[in-house]
Every structure is written in C-alpha cells, then in structure tokens.
Amino acid sequence: GAGVSQSPRYKVAKRGQDVALRCDPISGHVSLFWYQQALGQGPEFLTYFQNEAQLDKSGLPSDRFFAERPEGSVSTLKIQRTQQEDSAVYLCASSPPGGISYEQYFGPGTRLTVT
Amino acid sequence: SQQGEEDPQALSIQEGENATMNCSYKTSINNLQWYRQNSGRGLVHLILIRSNEREKHSGRLRVTLDTSKKSSSLLITASRAADTASYFCATDGSRTGANNLFFGTGTRLTVIP
C-alpha cells in the first residue's frame, strides 16, 4: 500500500509568513509523529498524536508552532510568523497500533526554507 | 536535545568492505532501532533490537546491543554503492514513557564503487 506522504515537498517562505505542512499517514496507523531535522542533524521530536488526540507536544519549540489531526488521519503542522531558524526538513511518521515497540514509517519530508 | 551519539560521524569505504557504526545512548530503553536516510529522503527502518536481545541479523545487517554500556553497533557486510546514506540509531523514551523516538546525530557512510 501507499506509504506516508507529505506536501509540499519544498516550501520557501519569507520571514513572517505563515506556513502549513500536510501529512497523510498510512491508512490504519493510529499514531502520528512530527519531527524537525536541521541540516546535518538527526530528527528531533515535535509532537505526537494518537488518533485525533494530541498526547505530547513537548517538542514544539515555540507557541508559533501548532499541529492538528482533527479526524484522526491527515495532520497539519502550522508555523506562524516564520523565522529563519525554522528552516529545516519537517518529517512526519506514523506507526500501527501496538505501542512504542513498533517501527515508525516516515514520509519524505517537507524542506522549509525561510528567507 | 538528542539522546544518542553515533560514531564515526563519517565513514568512507570501498565496495565489498564491511562498515561498522556505533551508537551510544543515555537512558534506559525498551528497544533500539536503526534507520537509513538517503540524501533528501525520509528515513527507512532497518532493524529493531529489544533491550533483552544482544544480537540480531537481517540480511547483510548485524546489530548488537550492550545495555550495560548503553551502546549498540550496526555492521553492514559486503557493502555496495547503494548503501551510501546516513545511518541513525533511535531509542524510545522508556524512562519518560514517551512514545516518540530519540535520534542520534548520524553516521554518513560513503561506499566507493
């Protein structure tokens, strides 16, 4: 079946603009994660959903970052008033029911460049 | 902050040689996973080893885990040019109960044909 998809793949925003990044997880996967990956670094956790419930948002760097998954499938990560330090690849991952022992399936990421 | 550290940061080998990457982590875990990332792409899961396992094999991959030293190694045997990628270890948040993964800084592997 289809894997995790993300759109857009590339986004250039001027500083101060708002952006919205979309993630379509694998059908049936209840867990959804957002990660931020800076150049040359490993992914860092942003937020986690189980179905529509946002259970952990401890990794969101500021209140400019907001994520939602209203129907428990597609998720959107929104960044308001973008800053240059927001430039990174934003990765979405999903995993099936069963808890933390399951591997995560990653999308290709959205590369955000803030100019 | 990231939990793990990979060593070396970069590794360059000839096709056919073996590649060994090491990972150290800081807190107790339920399992440790290795992922591969090709340039400009998402991460692909390679192998998962549970905290009560010491060694696991999958094709040309061999992973070891030493929970007393909080370290793991990934061995790729008979490397191919297509193995060129960045490799990350990732641990779960056993201590905190978190469901997310904590990634290391990665090893960039280059296999020269």
CA B15 to chain centre: 20
Tell me the percentage of chain B whose pLDDT exceeds 90. Answer: 73
pLDDT of residue A85: 96
CA nearest B87 in A: which residue?
A: A42
Q: pLDDT of B46-85, one tens digit each?
A: 999 999 999 999 999 999 999 999 999 999 999 999 999 9
Residue B97 has pLDDT above 70, yes or no: no
CA nearest B2 in A: which residue?
A: A44
Task: Answer for the pair B36, B89: CB distance below 8 angstroms, yes or no.
Answer: no
Going by pLDDT thresholds of 50, 70 and 90, the confidence category of residue A38 is very high
Q: Which residues pair with B66 in a beta bridge?
A: B71
Spatial distance between the Cα atoms of B29 and B13, rounded to a whole number of angstroms? 31
Residues of B in contact with A59 (CB under 8 A): 100
Q: In one letter, which amino acid is B88?
A: F
pLDDT of residue A14: 97
**How many cross-chain Cβ pairs, A to B, lie less than 8 Å apart?**
71
Evaluated on CA atoms A2, B104, B67, A30, the torsion sign reads negative
Task: Kindly state the helix (H) or strand (E) to which residue B89 belongs, with its residue range.
Answer: strand B85-93
Query: If DSSP codes are grouped into helix, strand and coil, which group holds residue B83?
Result: helix
Going by pLDDT thresholds of 50, 70 and 90, the confidence category of residue A4 is very high
Task: Answer for the pair A6, A26: CB distance below 8 angstroms, yes or no.
Answer: no
Residue A21 has pLDDT above 80, yes or no: yes
Residue B90 has pLDDT above 70, yes or no: yes
Tokens representing A45? 């956790």
